[in-house]
Structure 1
């Protein structure tokens, strides 16, 4: 059975959009950080540590971009149907990924 959808209060729609844009800014920062690591980070050993860090960060950016769009759509649908907003693990994934990239970078910097 299809639930009737109503246009939510514009303030909630705009708040949802701001959250989506914040996730996109975060994904852009991951892209920039990953590409900068590959380009400029010199941790020796044929630069493979920099490539690993770059791969982790660019991968996180790609996942964040896709998940942000999905999250925005799910929130909008839930608001229109008067349902609770769905739970997301995206902030946890981002925090863990950035922490892993930082630990890898720190480990290789100290090892060198």
Structure 2
């Protein structure tokens, strides 16, 4: 088996690192809201949404990295998945929840 062009492997790693940065940002935002905003049910729900989205982003990023790496090494088309749509929907819901929390607090 021949090794793929290193540029493809490095691009795949950069994409994975972007997923990791996103996951860290979501988790940090969840922790910050939980600790810095007054305690209420709305801030707790928002914090939990952010933490769950961060965990999901990390897991999805790793799964996508592994699938893309296998496809690159096999010379196949890169895989696609619908999880990006789920994370986008979560981001919209979190944004709306943040707006509600801002108005209520």
TM-score (norm. length: structure 1)? 0.85
Deviations 1:4-28 (CA, angstroms, capped at 9, x unpaired): x432100000000000000000000
5+ long unaligned stretches in structure 2 = none
Aligned to 2:100: 107
TM-score (norm. length: structure 2)? 0.91
Matched, 1:79 2:72: yes
Deviations 1:40-85 (CA, angstroms, capped at 9, x unpaired): 123xxx5111110110010011111111111101001001111100
Matched, 1:14 2:10: yes
Aligned to 1:70: 63
Match of 2:33 among 23, 37, 43: 37
5+ long unaligned stretches in structure 1 = none
Match of 1:27 among 23, 26, 47: 23
Secondary structure at 1:7 match in 2: coil
Runs of at least 4 residues off by over 6 Å: none
Matched, 1:90 2:83: yes
Deviations 1:72-111 (CA, angstroms, capped at 9, x unpaired): 0100100111110000233322221121111012123324
* Contact 1:34/1:58, CA 8 A, preserved across alignment: yes
Return the index of the structure with the highest Cα Rg: 1
Task: Measure the CA separation in 1 of the matches of 2:101 and 2:54.
Answer: 22
RMSD: 1.5
